[in-house]
Amino acid sequence: MKLTKITMALAAGAVVLTASIAQADISPAVVYDKAGKFDKSFNEAVFNGVKRFTADTGISVREVEPTNDAQVEQGLKKLAKRGSSPIVAVGFSQANAVSAAAQAYPDSKFTLIDMVVPEANVQNVVFRAQEGSFLVGALAAMKSETGTVGYVGAMDIPLLAVFGCGYEQGAKHINANINVLHSFIGSTGAAFANPSKGGEVARSQFESGADVVFAAAGSSGVGVIQTAADMGKLAIGVDSNQNYLQPGTVLTSMVKRVGEAAYQSYAAEQNGTWKPGFVSMGLAEGGVDWALDEHNRGLVTADMEAKVNALKAAIIAGELSVHDYMSDNTCNY
């Protein structure tokens, strides 16, 4: 045990040494959001990116897991004070805290995921979630036998409406007459961590005739996926690849590569190419995607796979444009 630790440390040290010859030595950090880094979804995706960066470069990443709003700002400022940079802030709810920390520590670099704050030392990474949602919506429509599919968001906020709107467009693209149900779990942050309510909302959609439900709701989505499995219906996961949660009843997952965003932000700092401002990641940049693996292989026919990939290629090529809810706060496409 001890020996392996020492060997690992030595190996890591060697990697750092070789890396530091070519690249700058950085001291990166990350502040997760309140759902915690193992939410099987959003934060876990960031954590996996962080882990991969450490594995690739041997550079360890400081982590803060806040349990309330006050700790977010404290965490950001403490990391900046200790000289960590860039500091990745996970989630839209950290916007105000990032803004405050960025002003207090103008020499530190911050990367904010999923939201935009106009500071000179903040890189804002946003995802074109509508593109990935379009693909899973199209797949849902292909798979649906009842002609009704559902979308369950945690809260009725623009960020999540983007998912629902993209999903609806995808579903309607395949079947113009399809009925798309939209429901929300709650109106506070607690809606992201209430699997019982998530399951109940999903159940009401299944009982209204939906046979595929897409959940964008943090760990509440686990309840949606569980309910789909209990009722023998299909669910679509979000953020991380959640196909493995209930193999056979998770149709696919709308993967948002937030881990990639964290990884690239650190890597850019290492290469000296980190820039403040606005970074948009969609299908073309590999920022969003749909997930196909051994757990949902049996649910997706070769024909469906080909169709979804054709849509993906069309979006990347710019032949098919997906309306972004955020651009005008409506879903008129």
Alpha carbon distance 292, 37 (integer Å) = 24
Is residue 110 within 8 Å of 102, Cβ to Cβ?
Answer: yes
Count of residues interacting with another protein (CB under 8 A): 32
194 binds another protein (CB under 8 A): yes
Residue whose CB is less far from another protein, 182 or 307? 182
Instruction: For the beta carbon of residue 286, count every other beta carbon within 10 angstroms.
Output: 12
In the bound state with another protein, the residue whose beta carbon lies nearer, of 44 and 211, is 44
Interface positions, 38-77, toward another protein (CB under 8 A):
38-40, 44
Any contact of residue 37 with another protein (CB under 8 A)? yes
Tell me: does residue 145 bind another protein (CB under 8 A).
no
Integer angstrom CA distances of residue 49 from 46, 65, 150, 168, 303: 5, 16, 30, 30, 32
Q: Which long-range contacts (CB under 8 A, 24 or more apart) does 301-305 make?
A: 304/139, 304/142, 304/143
Pick between residue 101 and residue 185 the one whose CB is nearest to another protein: 185
Residue 52 or residue 182: which is nearer to another protein going by CB? Answer: 182
CA distance 129 to 202: 21
Q: What is the C-alpha separation between 252 and 133, in angstroms, rounded?
A: 11
Question: Does residue number 183 form part of the binding site for another protein (CB under 8 A)?
Answer: yes
User: Which residues make beta-bridge pairs with 64?
Assistant: 31
132 near another protein, judged by CB under 8 A:
no
By C-beta, is 28 or 221 nearer to another protein?
221
C-alpha to C-alpha distances, 30 to 36, 86, 260, nearest whole angstrom? 12, 8, 13
Q: How many residues does the chain have?
A: 333
Comparison of 62 and 307: residue with beta carbon closer to another protein: 62
Q: Do the Cβ atoms of 241 and 253 come closer than 8 Å?
A: yes
186 binds another protein (CB under 8 A): yes
Tell me: does residue 86 bind another protein (CB under 8 A): no
Q: Is 296 in the site for another protein (CB under 8 A)?
A: no
Candidates 101, 181, 216, 283; binder of another protein (CB under 8 A) is: 181
Distance of CA 263 to the CA centre of its chain: 14
Q: Which of 159, 193, 236, 251 binds another protein (CB under 8 A)?
A: 193
For residue 28, CA distances in Å to 7, 124, 178 come to: 24, 16, 47
Instruction: Tell me if 236 sits within 8 A of 214, measured CB to CB.
Output: yes
Q: How many Å apart are CA 305 and CA 300, to the nearest integer?
A: 6
Q: What is the smallest separation between the CB atom of 208 and another protein, expressed in angstroms? A: 8
Out of 26, 141, 201, 213, the residue judged to bind another protein by CB under 8 A: 201
Could you say which residues in the range 213-252 bind another protein, by CB under 8 A?
A: 219, 222-223, 226, 245-246
∠143-144-147 over CA atoms, to 5°? 150
**Residue 322 exposure: Cα atoms within 13 Å on the Cβ side:** 35
Of 63, 69, 200, 305, which one interacts with another protein (CB under 8 A)?
Answer: 200
Quote the least distance from Cβ 128 to another protein, whole Å.
25
Q: Please state the closest distance from residue 186 (CB atom) to another protein, in A.
A: 6
Only one of the segments 82-90, 196-204, 259-267, 298-306 lies at the binding site for another protein (rule: CB under 8 A); that segment is 196-204
Q: Which residues bind another protein (CB under 8 A)?
A: 35-40, 44, 156, 181-184, 186-187, 190, 193-197, 199-201, 203-204, 207, 219, 222-223, 226, 245-246
